[in-house]
Amino acid sequence: MRLRRARLLALAALGALSVAGGVEAQGFGQRGGAAGEFDFYVLALSWSPGFCRLDGGNDRNREQCSDGANLGFVVHGLWPQYERGYPSDCGPAGRSPSRIALEEAKGVYPTEGLARYEWRKHGTCSGSSPSDYFRDARRARDKVAVPPALAKPQREQNWTAIDLERAFAAANPGLRTDMMSVSCKRGVLQEVRICLTRDLRNFRSCPEVDRSGCRSREFSVPAPQ
């Protein structure tokens, strides 16, 4: 009886090691990962006026942050995600989308440079071609309706994270507050991150993403210019 129990314990320990090894091999965490192996997508919608106020003061972002750009929510990225962590940089070093593929990104990302970067870091983990990945980013963006209060705001506003999440939920049937998070920095709105199924047909819960939201009690939402 003791011998049998010892054998069972040994097998259990071996199984635990196998599971842990499998998790590591699949690239759970923030680096590595195999293309096409992920659980769901996160659509990150950046609030352009907030980004430009905090991080847009350089030549790279001149197109996005110039006077008269009048941009509100723009696509930051479509990110393959694990239940815990995310894969990144899954493609061969130096792999770059073609000019034809980048045509699919026009009107989705605020700049071509961002589209290239997002393909390298996140798109290569999707298992899709660059053209299909950019088309998926457009599909995901078109699925999400912006709340009326932020569609064309004329002045700076103040929001709390939960109120902004509720506004998005009200504007999008099937979307709940546990299916998204709001990101802020130094008291300014950065972006809204919304979780979608792999086929982009439905919203889905994402506890880790939900928990990563803004900690500020209230933040400002600058108006587009």
Which residues form the catalytic set?
A: 76, 118, 122
CA Rg, the chain, in Å? Answer: 20
What whole-number distance in Å separates Cα of residue 51 and Cα of residue 182? 14
The residues, any chain, with a CB within 8 Å of residue 204's CB and separated by 6 or more, are 40, 179, 195, 196, 197
> Three-state DSSP class for 39?
coil
Q: What is the DSSP letter of 222?
A: P
Which position has the token pair 């769901």?
Answer: 40
What whole-number distance in Å separates Cα of residue 9 and Cα of residue 185? 49
